[in-house]
Structure 1
Amino acid sequence: MSTRVLLVDDQVMFVENLKVVLETYAPELTIVGIANDGQEAIRKARDLSPDIILMDVRMPGLDGVGATERILKEFPRVQIIMLTVFDDDEYVYQALNRGARGYLLKNMRPAALVSSIKAVLDGAVLISPVAAQKLVAGRANTRPSEAKHEAPDWLALLGAREREVLSLLLEEMSNSEIAEKLFISESTVRNYISGIYNKIGVENRFQAIRVSRLYRSFL
C-alpha cells in the first residue's frame, strides 16, 4: 500500500518541482494533493486523508506552524514535516512543540529528502543539521557548572528507538549488529542513524560518538 502525501507551499514552482522529485525518487509515495496555504491544507487534510504532509513554514494567512497544530488536533496520526528556506530556531521550537515530526531545509538533495521522509514514516523525528546546530548553540551560554548536570537540547529530539540505536553506536556496534540486536532491518538502522546525525548536528559516526559520549548517562 502506497503512502499518501499532501504538499503544502505557497510557491507554486517549488511545490511542482517537489512533486516531480518525489515521483522520480520515491515512486512508492503517492502525491494525493497540493495546497497553497494553511487553510487549504486543513481542508485537504480532511478530504484526502494523507499519511504525511510536507508543509512550508511561512505562508500568507495561516502559516505552516498554525496549520500543523490544527491538523494534528483533528488527525493526530498524520506525520508532518516542515520544509523551509529558513533555519530560524524560534520556528524550529514552534513547529516541534506543535507536533511536527521534522524540520528540514528546502535545499536538501533529493535523495536526502526522500531518506528523511522514510525515516519519519519509521517513527523518527528529524531536524536539519543547520537547525540542530542552532538549537544547540542556543544553550551555549549555559555556565559550565550547570552544563555538567543538564542534558543537551538535541537529546529531547531523539525518539526512544533512536536513543537505543545511539546507545549501541556508543558500544561500537556495526549497523548489522544493531539490526540483529533490535530485530529491525539494516536500512531502518541507517534511517535512524541519519536522523541521529541530523539532530545532533554532525556528519558521521565518529562525530556522533564523540559528541554523545559526554551524555551517555542521559540515554
Structure 2
Amino acid sequence: MTTPDAPTRVLLVDDDALVRAGLRLILGGAPDIEVLGDDPSDGAAGVAVARAQRPDVVLMDIRMPGTDGIEATKMLVGKPDSPHVIVLTTFDSDDLIVQALRAGASGFLLKDTPPERLVAAVRSVVAGEPILSPSVTRQLVDKVTGGDAGDERAAARTRLSALTDRELEVATLIGQGLANADIARQLYMSVPTVKAHVSRVLTKLDADNRVQVAIVVHDAHQE
C-alpha cells in the first residue's frame, strides 16, 4: 500500500479497452499516481490482480461479463489492507450504483468525468475523503433505505449508541456529506483529529466507507 513518499497505485478494471486506455492516459499524467501494468477486463481477473499487486485504488467498471463490478467489490472490500474501490458507470441513475455502495465501494464516477475530477477522486479516497457531493449522497441514501422504517430506525440507533458524543457529532456531519475539513471547521477541531474520529466511527459502525455511515445516520432519524 502507499506511503507518504510513494505514488498512489491504481488498478483499472474494465472490459472496454478504449476506456482503459483513456483512464491510463489521464491518470498516468499525474505525478503522484502510478497505474499498474495489468488491465483486467473482468471482475474475477481484477480481484486476482488486486490481491497479487495490492493497489491503493481500484477503478472498477460496474457492468462486465462474468463477475461484474459489484461482486468483485464484495470480494475485495473488507479484507485487511483492502483497496479503495471506485465504481465506474455510464449513467448516474443506474440502480447498480446503490448495490455497489452497499458492497463497500468508496463512491462512483461517470465514465465521462473530466480528467481533473478523476485525478482528484483518486486522491480523495486515499485521503479518506468522500467523492460524492452532499446532494448525491442524500439521493443515494434515500434510494438505499427502504423497508420497515421502525425496524431500521431501532437497529440504526442501537448501532449509533456505541459512539461517544463527539463521534456521534462527526457521524451526523458525515451523514450530511461533509468532508473532513468542513467537519473540522464546524466542530472546531483539527483535520487530523477529525480523521481519527472518522476512523473510530467506521470501526464501531462496521462500515466500509462514509456513505454507509450516512445510511446508518439516515435510518436513525427517519420518521
Cα shift at 1:61: 0.7
Note if contact 2:78-2:104 (Cα within 8 Å) is conserved in structure 1.
no
Matches within 5 A, 1:52-201: 52-72=57-77, 74-75=79-80, 77-127=82-132, 132=137, 134-135=139-140, 138=143, 163=170, 166=173, 178=185, 181-184=188-191
SS of the residue corresponding to residue 55 of structure 1 reads strand
Note if contact 1:87-1:130 (Cα within 8 Å) is conserved in structure 2.
no
The residue aligned with 1:192 is: none
Note if contact 1:52-1:79 (Cα within 8 Å) is conserved in structure 2.
yes
Note if contact 2:73-2:103 (Cα within 8 Å) is conserved in structure 1.
yes
Structure 2: 5+ residue stretches without partners: 1-5, 157-166, 196-210, 212-217
Note if contact 1:89-1:135 (Cα within 8 Å) is conserved in structure 2.
no
Deviations 1:42-62 (A, max 9, x none): 121122111110000000111
The residue aligned with 1:30 is: 34
The residue aligned with 2:52 is: 47
The 3 A distance-change label for structure 1 pair 88 and 161 is farther
The residue aligned with 2:24 is: 19
SS of the residue corresponding to residue 35 of structure 1 reads coil
Match of residue 8, structure 2, among 3, 16, 34: 3
Counterpart CA distance in 2 for 1:128 and 1:59 is: 26
Note if contact 1:8-1:54 (Cα within 8 Å) is conserved in structure 2.
yes
Taking structure 2 as the reference length, what is the TM-score of the superposition?
0.61
Q: Which amino acid is 2:104 matched to?
A: G
Q: Which amino acid is 1:98 matched to?
A: A
- Taking every aligned residue pair, what percent have the same amino acid on both sides? 34
Cα shift at 1:118: 1.4
The 3 A distance-change label for structure 1 pair 137 and 179 is closer
User: How many pairs are equivalent?
Assistant: 173
Note if contact 1:10-1:36 (Cα within 8 Å) is conserved in structure 2.
yes
Cα shift at 1:136: 5.8
Counterpart CA distance in 1 for 2:117 and 2:168 is: 21
Note if contact 1:42-1:70 (Cα within 8 Å) is conserved in structure 2.
yes
Q: Which amino acid is 2:189 matched to?
A: L
The residue aligned with 2:202 is: none
Counterpart CA distance in 2 for 1:70 and 1:91 is: 16
Cα shift at 1:135: 2.8
Q: Which amino acid is 2:88 matched to?
A: L
SS of the residue corresponding to residue 27 of structure 1 reads coil
Counterpart CA distance in 1 for 2:113 and 2:63 is: 18
Counterpart CA distance in 2 for 1:161 and 1:126 is: 21
Counterpart CA distance in 1 for 2:108 and 2:64 is: 16
The residue aligned with 2:215 is: none
Structure 1: 5+ residue stretches without partners: 152-159, 189-198, 200-214
SS of the residue corresponding to residue 87 of structure 2 reads strand
